[in-house]
């Protein structure tokens, strides 16, 4: 199985709560599994053991997640609701690996999820990090 790093918001963004974002990433990971990929979403794994409200713990979780990013074959980015600061950091760090993962924006496996969950109803600005790193990962 190809390893896929899932990048989606964790903290509230564009009117969606942290819990709504956790529910979203579960759906995204399930879709990746159903498509034959092995997904990893650090924001599902680390928050139960670390306090996101404590800067040092958040940074530890981000660093651990990025360590996994270096082993991914692809990075799938949920950009329907915009790019959160944490996602921007993941995208930025993806390009620093000697063999960066392929950055995939809204893969086919995620088709229909935004409509099914009622997300992405309002236009949002896109991150400049996506444009810069997309060329690196291709």
Positive or negative, the Cα torsion across 20, 26, 29, 30? negative
**Cα–Cα dist 16/82, whole Å:** 11
pLDDT tens-digit map of 5-21:
999 999 898 789 999 99
Rounded to whole angstroms, the Cα distance separating 128 from 31 reads 27
Range of 131's domain?
2-137
- Express each pLDDT in 61-76 by its tens digit: 988 998 899 899 999 9
Q: Which residue has the higher pLDDT, 122 or 68?
A: 68
CATH label of the domain that carries residue 26: 3.40.50
Write down the pLDDT at residue 94: 86
Q: What domain count does the chain have?
A: 1
pTM of the model: 0.82
H, E, C per residue of 36-85: CEEEECHHHHCCCCCCCCCHHHHHHHHHHHHHHHCCCCEEEECCCCCCCH
């Amino acid at each position: 199985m190809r390893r896929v790093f899932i990048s989606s918001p964790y903290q509230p963004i564009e009117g969606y709560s942290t819990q709504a974002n956790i529910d979203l990433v579960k759906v995204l990971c399930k879709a990746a599994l159903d498509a034959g990929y092995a997904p990893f979403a650090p924001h599902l794994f680390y928050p139960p053991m670390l306090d996101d409200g404590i800067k040092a713990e958040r940074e530890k979780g981000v660093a651990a997640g990025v360590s996994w990013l270096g082993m991914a074959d692809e990075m799938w980015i949920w950009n329907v609701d915009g790019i959160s600061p944490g996602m921007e950091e993941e995208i930025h760090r993806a390009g620093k690996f000697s063999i960066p993962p392929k950055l995939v924006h809204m893969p086919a496996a995620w088709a229909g999820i935004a409509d099914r969950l009622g997300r992405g109803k309002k236009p949002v600005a896109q991150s400049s990090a996506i444009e810069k790193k997309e060329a690196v990962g291709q």
